[in-house]
Structure 1
């Protein structure tokens, strides 16, 4: 790899190919890439906690829901919290961990994309709006995902973004 100065900034130009198997996108999709997984996270973000709530909200088969919840718990996206109703056996609620809560921007970005390209002709079915925790400064305006670099530059067009090797990059040998 070499560094090229282009327009006042340094840009890495790949002369070696990065191993695509060592990829955080692929690892993330292994956890949440199955359709039901992100829908379960969406419902948890909206307050669902118990198995029956997830099943009723999503219309998902019990065996599939159990498998997806097991995957999300094993990956650290959710955790099981025991509870027991009087006269009933112990059961578990499912709560998002910090790792799970950090998926909110991903879901908002997918919602934005879906609204732009796949919404019904009448428009989107849901609009995510701004509501601060204290509700005193809530403006109620729609929320959107914005890409921002570490220097604080926002509204980056696609051509202003590139992938550069990180500290964990593994390079393929040239054949």
Structure 2
């Protein structure tokens, strides 16, 4: 059946369960815009050019999943604000990783005219790194998935 997505919410995989929540490109662009300061439906809609029904569905899911909370806007109670929760703010590492990957792999030299910088000093941020528990830098082939011991084995 065309258009039907597989439900991944019961998958025994952190990537699959994450994609069940934020795997649609519009969803991550909405979260990106929230980090840019957008909070109102109209702001998201205008910036993304997204159809209102799709934006409404994505925002509803993000609220249900605890990524956003809805707060009354002090100046306009009929136009609520969508505010990132602590769970939603944890997506910053995903957005930074995607930005850095895209910056390196999706643009010709000199084509990208913006960069991700430190808010305090304006310096470019360093590339994200994956490190072992002991601090060693890990490369793309230096990790694997392993079964966790069950609570009964502890």
TM-score of Structure 1 vs Structure 2, range by shorter chain:
0.7 to 0.9
How far did 1:36 drift? Answer: 0.3
Pair 1:167–1:97, CA change in 2 (3 A): farther
SS in 1 for 2:18: helix
Query: Which structure shows the higher strand fraction?
Result: 1
2:7 matched residue in structure 1 = none
1:69 matched residue in structure 2 = 59
Residue of 113, 116, 129 corresponding to 1:146: 129
**47-56 vs 119-128, which moves further:** 119-128
Query: Which structure shows the higher helix fraction?
Result: 2
Q: Tell me, which stretches of 5 or more residues in structure 1 are unaligned? A: 1-19, 169-175
How far did 1:161 drift? Answer: 1.3
CA distance in 2, matches of 1:120, 1:82: 43
Larger-Rg structure: 1
Residue of 47, 70, 86 corresponding to 1:57: 47
SS in 2 for 1:54: helix
CA distance in 1, matches of 2:80, 2:149: 39
CA distance in 2, matches of 1:167, 1:124: 46
TM-score (norm 1): 0.73
Residue of 161, 166, 170 corresponding to 2:143: 161
Q: Deviations over 1:13-63 (max 9, x none)?
A: xxxxxxx93112111101100110000000001110111110111111111
TM-score (norm 2): 0.82
Pair 1:139–1:151, CA change in 2 (3 A): farther
Q: Tell me, which stretches of 5 or more residues in structure 2 are unaligned? A: 1-9
**76-85 vs 65-74, which moves further:** 76-85
CA distance in 2, matches of 1:158, 1:48: 35
Aligned CA-pair RMSD? 2.0
Question: Would the aligned equivalents of 1:84 and 1:91 in 2 still touch at CA under 8 Å?
Answer: no
* Matched residue count: 141
